[in-house]
Amino acid sequence: MFSYKFQWNQAFARLPQMLDGALITMQIAILSMVLGILLAIVLTVFRRSGSRVLSGIATSWVEIARNTPALFQIYMAHFGVATFGIHFNPFTSLLIGITFNNAGYLAENFRGALKAIPETQTRAGRSLGMTSNQAFGYIMLPQMLRIAFLPMTNQMVWAILMTSLGVTVGMSTDLYGVTQALNALTFRTFELFALAGVVFYVIVKLIQFAARLIAMRLFRY
């Protein structure tokens, strides 16, 4: 028999706490994106370096990040490294896990974006006396980031949603963690998680809107 009585006001009363959690969620996602983009650029440079060691590191990173569950990656960043005596708090572990995932996916996006830029762009830069690093940094990189902007937005959305995996490593301050804790306290499972779902949805929409504004501002060509 269906005998559950919805008590939405119980959930709404907790909304301020959940919004505090949402801020932590956004903080992790933004940090993991900034770090992820920087690392993905490093991985891209590694892959183009011609060094077998460096490109091996980059390829392994991308392979693991893209072909294993994000949950596994976050678990490893917490319990996995703990085996070797390295102990991170849940926030750090979650951040490392998501950053690892972001960097792997973004590096692959960047590779595709670079392929879309004609090689003659580099040649034009080199002809003007630029070093290969200058040609990459001033000519290829900006165009690469523009082409990969949409995939980067997607990855940002994915980073927001991945924060929900933090509960598995004891994260209790982000949106999902807060909701989980409130559920344990009140047992208003459906109401709380439905509300959390709505908050996630709104955050993602806000990010997509912000991305559109940024794109308009940055890419006028």
Partner 1 sequence: MIEIEKVHKSFGQLKVLKGIDLRVAKGEVLSVIGGSGSGKSTLLTCINGLEPIDSGRILVDGTEVHAKSTDLNKLRRKIGIVFQQWNAFPHLTVVENVMLAQRKVLGRSKPEAEAEAVRQLSHVGLGDKLKVYPSRLSGGQQQRMAIARALAMSPHYMLFDEVTSALDPQLVGEVLDTLRMLAAEGMTMICVTHEMKFAREVSDRVAFFHKGVMAEIAAPAELFGAPKSEELRAFLSATH
Cα–Cα distance for residue pair 101/136, rounded to 1 Å: 25
Classify residue 33 as exposed, middle or buried by CB count within 10 Å of its CB (0-12, 13-18, 19+). Answer: buried
Of residues 101 and 109, the one with the C-beta less far from partner 1: 109
Of residues 112 and 118, the one with the C-beta less far from partner 1: 118
Q: Which stretch binds partner 1 (CB under 8 A): 2-10, 106-114, 120-128, 176-184?
A: 120-128
Number of other CB atoms surrounding residue 38 within 10 Å: 13
* Residues 132-151 as x/- pattern, contact with partner 1 by CB under 8 A: --x---xx--xx--x-----
- DSSP state letters, 82-100: HTTT----HHHHHHHHHHH
- Please give the structure tokens belonging to residue 107: 């590096």
CB of 54 to partner 1, least distance (A): 23
Q: Is 215 in the site for partner 1 (CB under 8 A)?
A: no
- Please give the structure tokens belonging to residue 170: 């004891």
- Candidates 60, 89, 131, 208: give the one binding partner 1 (CB under 8 A): 131
Q: Is 120 in the site for partner 1 (CB under 8 A)?
A: yes
CB of 217 to partner 1, least distance (A): 14
* Residues 52-91 as x/- pattern, contact with partner 1 by CB under 8 A: ----------------------------------------
Of residues 150 and 184, the one with the C-beta less far from partner 1: 150
Number of other CB atoms surrounding residue 199 within 10 Å: 19
Q: Which stretch binds partner 1 (CB under 8 A): 29-37, 119-127, 148-156, 161-169?
A: 119-127
Q: Tell me the one-letter amino acid at 156.
A: M
CB of 115 to partner 1, least distance (A): 16
**Ranges of H-type helices in the chain:** 8-13, 15-48, 52-67, 70-75, 81-82, 90-115, 120-127, 132-135, 141-147, 149-162, 175-186, 189-218
Q: Is 116 in the site for partner 1 (CB under 8 A)?
A: no
Report the candidate in 94, 112, 91, 113 with the shortest Cα–Cα distance to residue 102. Answer: 94
Residues that bind partner 1 (CB under 8 A): 118, 120-121, 123-131, 134, 138-139, 142-143, 146, 220-221
